[in-house]
A and B are shown apart, each in its own frame.
Chain A
Amino acid sequence: MDRKNIVIVGGGLAGQMAAVRAAEQHFHVDLVSLVPIKRSHSVCAQGGINAAVNTKGEGDSPWEHFDDTIYGGDFLANQTPVKRMCESAPGIIYLFDRMGVPFNRTAEGLLDFRRFGGTKHHRTAYAGATTGQQLLYALDEQVRRYEVAGQITKHEGWEFLSVVRDGGGACRGVVAANHVDGAIRAFRAGAVILATGGPGLIFGRSTNSVINTGAAAAAVYLQGGVYANGEFIQVHPTAIPGEDKLRLMSESARGEGGRVWVPRDGKPWYFLEEMYPAYGNLVPRDIATRAIFEVCVNQGLGVDGKNQVYLDLTHIPADELEVKLGGILEIYRKFTGEDPARVPMKVFPAVHYSMGGLWVDFDQMTSIPGLFAAGECEYQYHGGNRLGANSLLSCIHGGQVAARAAMDHVDGVPAAPGPDPYDAEVRRQEAVFEEIRSMDGDENPYRLHRELGEVMTDNVTVVRHNDRLDETLERIAEFKERWRHIGPPDRDGTLNQSLYFTRQLHHMLELAHVIALGARLRDESRGAHYKPAFPSRDDDRFLKTTLATHTPDGPRIDYEDVDIQYLPPRPRVYDVYRKEDRP
C-alpha cells in the first residue's frame, strides 16, 4: 500500500490540486493539513488568476505572459518552468471553469478578464473579489468526491513535524502530530509533496493567515533541504492596518480603475500615475510599495500625517463595484465602518508573499529525493517579485507538476535500504515536545514572536541597509537564545496550542535567519529587494539564485546561476512601455 501511497502536506490550492491529480490516476493520497482544508490560506486570495487567452483582442499570448512574469520578477526566475506555467494557464482556467467556479462573465456568457499589475493586457480571470476562495472550494469539492471514493484520506488538525528519510537519504514519508490529543505518528509514502504555504508570520502581522508560519518548510530546511531566495519578500502596497492582522485590499481595485493619491498643496496628487505614466496605478507591487514609502516616509505626505495613502474607487459606479469587487468592499466596510464606494480607502503596504522557498528542480523535487514542494513554500516561479494573480496560477500549476513527478517517482522507487526509519523519527519528534514541555523560563512565546515580527518588519522589508541587517542578525541570535528560556504558558491538556506555537516559533527564527542573512549578502537592488546603498541591479554578481543550507552555525549561503535561455536580461522600467526592447 505505501508504495502506491503519496502523502501531501497542506490542503491549500497546491496541495488539493496535487491530491486530485494523484487520486484520479488511482493513487491513494494521505492529505495532512493543519486546518480543515476548506479553511486553508488560499481563501484569502482576492483579485484573480492569470491566463493569456486574449479574449479582448489585445494580442495577448502565453509568450507575453511569460515575458511580463520574467520582467516583473527582475529576471531572477528560472525561465523554463515559468514558460511552462504560462503555457499551461489557459487550460487551468478552463479546468476550474468546468469544476463550476463562478467566474465573472461577459455579455456573451464567456469568462471575463480584468487588468492587473505589471501587464498591459486583460489577463486576469476572477470570481468577484474572492477568487482564491472560489478556486479552493471547487477543489475542496473534488477532494470530497475522491474521499467518498476512498482515494483520498484527509487528516485535518495534524501538524507536519518532519520528513522521514531512509538509509539512502530519500524521503519515505512524514511524521505529524495530532493537535487535539497530541499523538505523534508516521505516515508512510513512496513520495511526499509539501504544499504548506508561505512564512508571513515571521513578520508578525502581515496579510497572511495565522497558520502561515513557514514552520513546515523550515523543518525540511533543518533536515537538509535547500532553501532558495529567502530574502525576496513581497510587501503588498495596499492593506488596511489592524491590531491582529494587516488586511489585504486587492490589486484588482486598481485593475478596475482605482487610483492611489495623497493630498499635496490642497489637491490630490496621483503620484503613481505621475511617476510611472506607462503603467500608472498598475505598476508591479515592489514599485508601488517603494513609491508609497517615498511619499509617506521620506516626503511626509501621508494622509492625516500618518503612514497611509488613499486608494480611491469613488469615481466608479457603485453597482459595478459590487459585482467586481464586492468581497473586498465588504471587508473594508466591516473592519473600518466606511464605504469605499463613497469615501477613498486608507491603505498602507504590508508583508504579503514570499517569492523564496524550498529549492526545487523543474519537476518540483526538493534537494531531498522523493520530497516535492508546490505553492508558496517553494521558490520557482516569481523571481525577485511576483506579479499579481500569478500566485493562484503557480499553486495550481505547481501542484499539477508535483503530482505527475511524484507519481513517476513512486513508480520507479526501489525498496527502502537500511532499517525501518519511521520509529526513530517518531521518537525524535516526541523528544522535541518533551523538551519544550520541560522548559521553565519566564519568556512568553507570543511576546517573543511579536518582538521578532517588529524587528523583521522594521529592517527586512521595503528598504534594507546593511548596518541594520547586521543588527537584525544579532537580534535573531538573541531571540534564539531567549527561545530556550520560554516557559510554555500551557503544558498539558487537549489541543495545546501554545506548545505547538512554541515549536513553530523555533522554526520561524531559523527561517528569519535565512531571510536576513540572504538580504545582508545580496549587495544590489532587484525586485522586492532594495538597498539604497546599492540602488542598481548587478547581473554580473547577483543574477543568481540564493541557496541556504542549514549548518549548526547557521545558514551557509551559496549561489546558483539562473536559467535565462529565452529572454536575455534587460533593464526593468515601468515609466515607459518599451515593447521594442522585447525579443
Chain B
Amino acid sequence: MSDTVRLRIRRQDGPEARARWESFALRRKPHMNVISCLQAIQADPVDADGRATTPVVWDCNCLEEVCGACTMVINGRARQACTALVDELGASITLEPLGKFPVVRDLVVDRQVMFENLKRIKGWIPIDGTYDLGPGPRLPERERQFAYSLSRCMTCGCCMEACPQVNPRTNFIGPATLAQAVYFNASPTGRMTASERLEAVMGDGGITECGNAQNCVKACPKEVPLTTAIAGLNRATTWHYVKNWLTR
C-alpha cells in the first residue's frame, strides 16, 4: 500500500459560492479514518501541490458513529466519516457534501429539515409531565427490541441521500421520519395518539411519496429496519383510511 493518502475534496466557501475541487496528499499512518485525514489538513493546511489553503470545514462530534454529525459522501456513498477507515477506501478518497441538503460551507450541510419533519409527525410520547408518576407501562422484551432498532436512528441523512424520491420535485419527508412515526406508534403510550401521526404521514409529502426503491435500508449505518417500518406504516394508514371512510 502506498505511504501517501490522496484525497479530492469538493469545497465551497458558502451557500452561494461556486464549488471547486482541492487535492491533498497526506502521509499514511496506521488506523487512519477520514476524520484523522481532515484533522491532519487542519494542522497543516497545504494542498497536494504544496500551496497554502484553509482548513477544510466539516461537521463532526462523537467520532464513534452515534451522533450522526459527520455524514458526507465518501467515494460516492453517504456515510459517516468517523467509521470510514482509510485502508478500506482504496487508492484515492473523494469527499463531497451530502447532495440533498443545502451546503453551508465545504462538507457542512444544513439538515434542519429532518428535525422539522419530526415536528410534523408529532415525534414524542405525550407524557403528562416530568414529575414522578411511577413506572411506565410494561413491555414485552421482543417489542422492546423492535422499538430499540428504530430508536437508534441518529437523523444523519444517509437514507435521504439514497432515496430517489427525496428530490426538489417532491417534498417527501423521507424514510427516517416515517420510521420514527412507527416508533412512536409502537409505544404503549404513543399508541394512544397513533391516529394523529397516521394523519400526518398521509398528508402531503408523506408515505404516498415512497417509491419502494428500498435504497434507504441499505444506506442506513445503524441497520434501522426502514423498509419493514414503512411497510407496516402503509398497512396502518390504509386501515386508518378505510376506518375513516366507514365512520364518516
Contacts and interface: CB of A to CB of B under 8 A. Distances in A.
Interface of A: 17, 20-21, 24, 35-36, 38-41, 43-44, 91, 94-95, 97-100, 102-111, 127-128, 130, 133-134, 137-138, 141-142, 144-145, 147-148, 180, 209-211, 241-245, 247-248, 323, 327, 330-331, 334-335, 400, 444, 446-447, 450, 489-490, 493-495, 497-498
A145 B218 CA distance: 31
B244 to A, nearest CB: 24
Given A209-B63, A244-B33, A39 B69 contact: yes
B190 to A, nearest CB: 6
Contact of A144 (B39, B69, B115, B148): B115
A446 B42 contact: yes
Contacts of A21: 130
A108 B64 CA distance: 34
Contact of A91 (B30, B69, B132): B132
A180 B104 CA distance: 8
Q: Main secondary structure on chain B at its contact with chain A?
A: loop
B82 A244 contact: yes
Given A44-B62, A97-B135, A494-B105, 7 more contacts: A38-B154, A39-B62, A210-B63, A242-B36, A335-B31, A446-B42, A494-B13
Contact of B85 (A102, A105, A109, A335): A335
B47 to A, nearest CB: 13
A44 B69 CA distance: 13
14 contacts: A36-B155, A41-B62, A91-B132, A244-B33, A323-B145, A327-B66, A334-B83, A335-B85, A400-B130, A444-B43, A490-B54, A495-B104, A495-B105, A498-B55
B104 A43 contact: no
B64 to A, nearest CB: 5
Contacts of B14: 493-494
A211 B67 CA distance: 12
Interface stretch (B91-99, B119-127, B161-169, B207-215): B119-127
Contact of A43 (B42, B67, B118, B129): B67
Nearest to A495: B105
Given A39-B62, A144-B118, A100 B31 contact: no
B69 A35 contact: yes
Q: Which of B45, B64, B118, B125 has the most CB of A within 10 A?
A: B64
Contacts of B139: 105, 109
Of A105, A243, A493, most B-chain CB atoms within 10 Å: A243
Given A97-B136, A489-B45, A210 B61 contact: yes
Interface in B115-163: 115, 118-119, 122-127, 129-136, 138-141, 144-145, 147-148, 151-152, 154-155
Given A98-B189, A141-B125, A142-B127, A133 B66 contact: yes
B108 interface: yes
Interface string B29-60: 11111011001001111000000001101001
Contacts of A323: 145
Contacts of B148: 102, 127-128, 134
Contacts of B57: 495, 497
A105 B140 contact: yes
B141 A144 contact: no
Interface in B199-228: none
Contacts of B30: 243
B31 A242 contact: yes
Interface of B: 13-15, 29-33, 35-36, 39, 42-45, 54-55, 57, 60-69, 82-83, 85, 104-105, 108, 111-112, 115, 118-119, 122-127, 129-136, 138-141, 144-145, 147-148, 151-152, 154-155, 184, 187, 189-190
A311 to B, nearest CB: 16
Contacts of A24: 129-130
A88 B180 CA distance: 30
Contact of B63 (A38, A142, A244): A244
Contacts of B63: 209-210, 242, 244-245, 247
Contacts of A245: 35, 63-64
B197 to A, nearest CB: 12
Contact of A489 (B32, B54, B66, B152): B54
B190 A100 contact: yes
A110 B125 CA distance: 19
Contacts of A100: 125, 136, 147, 184, 187, 189-190
Nearest to A94: B135
Contact of B127 (A99, A490, A497): A99
A102 B151 contact: yes
A98 B133 contact: yes
A198 B123 CA distance: 29
Contacts of B36: 242-244
Which 6 A-B pairs rank lowest in CB-CB distance, beginning with the nearest? A91-B132, A97-B136, A109-B138, A141-B124, A243-B36, A102-B148
Contacts of B60: 210
B27 to A, nearest CB: 12
A108 B154 CA distance: 30
A39 B60 CA distance: 9
B220 to A, nearest CB: 13
B228 to A, nearest CB: 16
A446 B39 contact: yes
Nearest to B67: A39
B224 to A, nearest CB: 13
